[in-house]
Amino acid sequence: MQGGSLDAATTVVQSVGGEVVRTLAVINAVGATLTESELAALDAVLGITVYANHGVESAGKPPKDSGGDSGDSGSSSSDNDGTYMNAMIEADRVHDLGIDGYGVTVAVIDSGLWKKSGTQYNAYQEHRILAQYDVIRDREENFYEQNSYTTDIDDASGHGTHVTSVLANSDHTFARGVAPSVDLVAVRALDGNGQGTYLDVIAAVDWVVAHQYDYNIKVLNMCLSAPPRSHYWEDPLNQAVMAAWQAGIVVVASAGNTGPVAQSIGVPGNVPYVITVGAVSNAYTTADSSDDFLASFSSVGPTYEGFVKPEVVAPGGHILGMMGWYTEIGENHPEYRVVYPYYSMSGTSQAAAITTGVVALMLQADPSLTPDDVKCRLMASARPAVEADGSLAYSVFQQGAGMVNAYDAARSTDTGCANLGTNIQLDLAGTQHY
């Protein structure tokens, strides 16, 4: 519920008998529990806007469901091992330059994180999980203060660990992450089934923005999605994400897995400012890029307001990542296992995690980049899929600017080519929308 200041929102909820359960400073709102009569009373108050606590879910899928793939056999052969992503986006060439994400902190809002050697330590065997926060249980762990963790905010789903390892796994021998030396902040807002609520996800964004300078958070990864129910600027989750972008945090969001229908981009991927990512697959032919294709599940633009989405696409078919056997995915879907603890998954979640890794590489190469600069260079360096005659193989509403290319993005000098004609400050203030 929004209206005036946080104090005013709290007061008006309490005046009708409701209970405030959480404050959300990032959008100047509160979360509250209300009876039907209390809700009706609030609806009658001028200047107060009430939102339902809608559901949100992770944007990962089974490996066989990657839109045109023939299915994942579970084999670890070179054409079916899910480790093709670094070569496909030329991140391996960036690693050869000594750029691996070191010194860049990425916050991941998801279902938690399993502390395994590949996630807990960077490529130099330095501890890199700076903090964990469990929104659902309101529990925080800070490595700086404790120097170790007395308890563990774990991952009951497996999804959060999978996408984090796709982004950051430091294991050089198998399924290396795109940015294997990033620092990590893990924020748990999704449950063991990969599901959550607006309130919890907004609270997660609120926590990230509030701790931005404590942990030097530069990038926020959101591999989750919900159906749009309003204009982008009216949605409270979108407002939180916009506030994070305005605060200087690069937000990378999944497009969603409800394609190939037009206008299927989910929240918060429909925010015009952020980097929204769709998914492609390599058809299990690692050495041959000619048969790469857009995954049919990958959500498609334009947004309701007419914005081109997604901005870019990245590998999202049968990608290897880590998770525990005891997780919901690991326990109930052993067929996804390739070589324990690696499981093959598909989705715009995996594509967004890969793109987040590219962003971290870009920020290590040039720490001065603003979120708009990052978006500009990422899009300017992307490579669209084209036919033999040079025409686009997919529309801009399917592939955006094209496949991310880490090498070109990290070396780009482009500026001033993203979010033109918009003003996020006016947008958030409610005086101008687009």
* Count of C-beta atoms within a 10 Å radius of residue 138: 10
> Cβ distance 370 to 363 under 8 Å?
no
CA-derived radius of gyration, the chain: 21
Extract the tokens encoding 224: 């989750």
C-alpha dihedral sign at 393, 398, 404, 408: positive
Are β-strands 129-134 and 139-142 bridged in parallel, bridged antiparallel, or unpaired?
antiparallel
d(CA 406, CA 377): 10
Active-site pick, 81, 110, 154, 235: 110
Q: Decide if 349 is catalytic.
A: yes
Active-site pick, 95, 159, 162, 211: 159
CA 216 to chain centre: 18
Q: Decide if 318 is catalytic.
A: no
Helix (H, G, I), strand (E, B) or coil at 60: coil
Q: Decide if 211 is catalytic.
A: no
> Cβ distance 2 to 48 under 8 Å?
yes
Are β-strands 183-188 and 105-110 bridged in parallel, bridged antiparallel, or unpaired?
parallel
d(CA 195, CA 55): 7
- State the DSSP string of 178-200: SSTT-EEEEEE-S-TTSEEEHHH
* Relative orientation angle of helices 236-246 and 198-210, to the nearest 10 degrees: 10
Active-site pick, 170, 299, 349, 412: 349
- Residues involved in catalysis: 110, 159, 349
